[in-house]
Structure 1
């Protein structure tokens, strides 16, 4: 009983800092539910309930991933093929901002990071004006391929193969070097 009491449960009515999405992440024909809870300025936590169309506050989540991102989560989406895309931003349109999307899939009974994309738009005041650095990357861990772009150049393939990463092992340090602002 103590373990259940210690497990945080999302309560949408009491917490306006929650995003919710219904989808079929495990592709079994039943509706699943994903919830992101995030206090202003705090890390985001992801709750996934398999086979739960309606909220049941007493039910323990099938997945609880605390501290998924420190950035502000701005969107949850599903492509209808079982993936969950969580988009967050730092700066969110300010003169120094990044946006990233982590795509989560459920394969062979495991939650995996199946994709990751990141873009940045960084403006720095210099003595001769404003210097802007643009860039981005897109990694598909399921196909093993990725691309990277810098400034206004077309995206170029990354010369390495990628493998899916377990969601429990994912962190910002898991992202490829090409997806780090300023890497090159």
Structure 2
């Protein structure tokens, strides 16, 4: 994490910001080519206030001027607890969102479950840049109840095509598989509702 933040600090002089970002509040960041033009783009997850949703900042590189220009800020989509950098004990946080660059230029956003109670649901979104906006191309989740035997389910589906697979553990320990087949839709990340994904998966 610290090496990643150091790398982001090196990028800072070439970033044109729409609004100031306190560097100690950058939870994680990732570089990649989101729009497929061969340039190195950037995405960052930034803490706002303790217990408040985090913001996600997107930047696309202007290859002619060689700087990163703002491509949008998405708010109210990352509800996770984080022991922030301005408070002691942040190394112990176990619900940090994770970003991964995929080979096709998409972004995998992993949202681990809050460590409250025995029922945990981890979510994963696949974000893609299409027609000037970041959209949700894929949704996945896995659910476990750590105090109950044989209580688990998962699902992974392509939001754009509406196709995917889900499974649910049965009381006898076997797993029942299902095919997800719903209408494919395009959702801007800023307008995404997790309930849409769970509904498509039959929850």
Same-fold status (TM-score > 0.5): yes
Consecutive unaligned residues of structure 1, counting only runs of 5 or more, are: 1-6, 125-129
**Equivalent residue for 1:31, pick from 33, 36, 40:** 40
1:127 corresponds in structure 2 to: none
2:21 corresponds in structure 1 to: 10
CA contact (8 A) 2:162 2:180 kept: no
Per-residue deviation, 1:135: 0.5
Aligned-partner SS, 2:182: coil
2:60 is the alignment partner of 1:50: yes
CA contact (8 A) 1:148 1:157 kept: yes
1:19 corresponds in structure 2 to: 28
1:66 corresponds in structure 2 to: 75
2:51 is the alignment partner of 1:41: yes
**Equivalent residue for 2:100, pick from 68, 77, 81:** 77
**Equivalent residue for 1:99, pick from 97, 122, 136:** 122
Inter-CA distance 107–66: structure 2 relative to 1 (3 Å threshold): same
Per-residue deviation, 1:93: 9.4
Inter-CA distance 165–82: structure 2 relative to 1 (3 Å threshold): same
Mean CA deviation greater in 18-27 or 88-97: 88-97
Q: Distance in 1 between matches of 2:150 and 2:127?
A: 31
Q: Deviations over 1:91-119 (max 9, x none)?
A: 35973211101111011222110001011
TM-score when normalising by structure 1: 0.76
Aligned residues: 164
Q: Where in structure 2 are the equivalents of 1:125-164 lying within 5 Å? A: 130-151=148-169, 152-153=174-175, 155-164=177-186
Consecutive unaligned residues of structure 2, counting only runs of 5 or more, are: 1-17, 81-94
1:165 corresponds in structure 2 to: 187
CA contact (8 A) 2:98 2:110 kept: yes
Q: Distance in 2 between matches of 1:51 and 1:61?
A: 9
TM-score when normalising by structure 2: 0.69
RMSD: 2.7
Q: Distance in 1 between matches of 2:186 and 2:20?
A: 28
